[in-house]
Amino acid sequence: MTEKRQEKRQELRTRLIEAARDRIAAGGLRGLRARDVTADAGCALGGLYTAFADLNELVIHVNSDTLRRLGEAVAEASAGIEEPGTKLKAMALAYLAFARTHNALWLALFDTTMLADVEIPQWHKDDQAGLIDGIARTLAAISPDMDEDARQRRARTLFAAVHGIVSISLEKRFIGLSGDHLEGELESFVDLVARAPTPLNR
């Protein structure tokens, strides 16, 4: 591929990701159609398949873009906080705020319907890992003696726990916490985790 063609393809990819992101943000993954996305991006239906393998791959690119924005929101909310427990709390609250504000895009990150049978590519898993790394770095300040593997595992556990609290409560399919109590419970929960140094260290 010549440099010029490469550049045009990259530009088409960017336009398609933006169009798909806007569609998902407005209406979720349900009912997302290649026809609508390409029309919004101002290209022919076939353009999608020049730029990506298929609509699923495009959605995974939108998800990586969402992870980047989520990572930025979490980093921004916790920047400059030294005390690791307070920092973890700020990160958890930023996660909740993002899930509320960008609900459809956030839900798409965990989709088990449209992407049910799609193998998640390694580059997207690497983007997921980026989010976990920020937690692991903060845990390092709480438990400096923990080895790197254990810390990575513990960071995944904490992420999944916070995600569970947020998602059960926001999805409203299973009894969770009402909106009034969600922030408070999340704070108490992270406090509890951050202030129990010994078992964190095992």
Token pair of 146 as six digits: 């923990």
For position 100 contacting a second copy by CB under 8 A, the verdict is no
For position 43 contacting a second copy by CB under 8 A, the verdict is no
10 vs 188 by CB, closer to a second copy: 188
51 vs 190 by CB, closer to a second copy: 190
Beta-strand runs (E) in the chain? none
Token pair of 102 as six digits: 């960008």
Q: Which of 154, 185, 160, 168 is nearest to 84 (CA)?
A: 154
3 vs 180 by CB, closer to a second copy: 180
25 vs 43 by CB, closer to a second copy: 25
For position 160 contacting a second copy by CB under 8 A, the verdict is yes
Q: Which amino acid is at 182?
A: L
Looking at 14-22, 49-57, 98-106, 128-136, which segment touches a second copy (CB under 8 A)? 128-136
Q: Which of 16, 12, 14, 50 is nearest to 34 (CA)?
A: 16
For position 161 contacting a second copy by CB under 8 A, the verdict is yes
Total residues in contact with a second copy, by rule CB under 8 A: 48
The secondary element (H helix, E strand) that includes residue 97 is helix 84-101
The secondary element (H helix, E strand) that includes residue 7 is helix 3-27
User: Could you tell me if 123 and 64 are in contact, meaning their C-beta atoms sit under 8 angstroms apart?
Assistant: yes
Q: Which of 8, 9, 69, 163 binds a second copy (CB under 8 A)?
A: 163
Say whether 145 sits in a helix, a strand or coil. Answer: coil
Please tell me the number of Cα atoms within 13 Å of 18 on its side-chain side. Answer: 10
For position 195 contacting a second copy by CB under 8 A, the verdict is yes
Closest distance to a second copy from the beta carbon of 21 (Å): 19
Looking at 19-27, 37-45, 92-100, 182-190, which segment touches a second copy (CB under 8 A)? 182-190
Q: Which amino acid is at 120?
A: I
Contacts with a second copy by CB under 8 A lie at 30, 109-113, 115-116, 120, 125, 128-129, 132, 153-154, 156-157, 159-165, 167-169, 171-177, 181, 185-186, 188-189, 191-193, 195-196, 198-200, 202
